Amino acid sequence: MAAAAAAAEEAAAAGAEPGEPGPEDFVYGEEDFVLPGAGWEGEPGAAPSRFDRALLAAWSDRMERGFFRYRLGPLPARLLPGPMRLVAQLNVQRGAQRRPPQSITSLRQPFDPRAFNFTRLRPGELLLRLRRAAGPPAPLLVAINASPLERGHVLLLPEPARGLPQALTAAGLRAGMEAVLLSAHPGFRVGFNGLGGCASVNHLHLHAFYLGWPLRVEAAPAQPLSPRLALLRDVPAPAFLFYAAGPAELEALAQDVCRAAEHVADAGLAYNLLATRGDPPGGTAAGSGRGLRVLLWARRPSFGAKAGEAFNVALCELAGYLPLPAAALYRDITEAEALRAIRQQLLPEPQLLSLAQDLAQLLDG
């Protein structure tokens, strides 16, 4: 496993320039998890963690060295009026300068080594190798997203040399959830866009990013479906909610989420995912402190290359975060317009409830 990741780095090194930086090892244990939760800037617990410092220092270094497609400064952002508290952010450069997304034609599209994939990254684009001190030897590679949404936007790459397609794995999800717990920033989230759910590259990867705004999906109470699954309704896009109170529950949660995602794909549907700190499913009164929420959205598949200038609906939009590519759209968009675009991609209510019943039986059967 470790050799596979090393092979990916060696393949990337073929195009390296002399003196180009490479990834640094970041070895962590449970003592590095920020378990009580983190505070927003100015609140108790708001100081960055060892992980935050390492990631952001490496990310800023690569920005200064010119590894990104554009220089990213502070971005305009605003809260749209309305109960869903959607966060709109203007990022014109990402809309205009990002790499053209691949054309996705199937929920089961195999990995194509001839297409762009993450073994082609230069060593300078790789920031960290996350290694659990007592865990599997294969590291999780952390790479820049060359067209970032925000400062600190990175890709999490589980064993890229294996050439796995963009289908969620329990090992990759667990590593991503541990990354959330390693950060002391309450707005550090990890997400996944599946095939047919606006994935841009058919090579296994997760997104991780910092966003300085709370999201409704992190606190809204959910309707219990079973002891291991709930349905989040009063949010921008209804989602299946999984919850872990602490690190000991991450492995079982990752297995549950991946079984559910596989069932969704078997039903001919696409999916997106977000892992974030959040309240227990029943709300703050149902437990002491925050744990980890994982939201799984089932949706109608969208095939073909996604348009760079359009209002695309992927994991960020489903969660209530709207990265927008045009100043006029950013200035004028309303909550009602955004929700209309988001909900066009979702399942009709009867289909959603039928799927909810199937998933509850699957997980508890």
**Does the CA dihedral 33-176-62-325 come out positive or negative?**
negative
* Strand arrangement, sheet containing 87-90: 77-79, 87-90, 321-324
Residue 354 to residues 112, 348, 361, Cα–Cα distance (Å): 35, 10, 11
The four Cα atoms 34, 173, 147, 91 give a dihedral, to 10 degrees, of: -70
Give the span between the Cα atoms of 125 and 110, in whole angstroms: 25
Residue 270, classed as helix, strand or coil, is: strand
Q: Which candidate in 203, 205, 207, 263 is catalytic?
A: 205
* Strand arrangement, sheet containing 154-158: 24-28, 126-132, 140-144, 154-158, 206-210, 188-193, 270-278, 291-299, 239-244, 229-232, 223-226
Instruction: Check if 205 is active-site.
Output: yes
Residue 317 to residues 128, 311, 312, 320, 338, Cα–Cα distance (Å): 28, 9, 8, 5, 9
**By the 8 A CB rule, do 347 and 300 touch?**
yes
| Residues designated as active site | 205
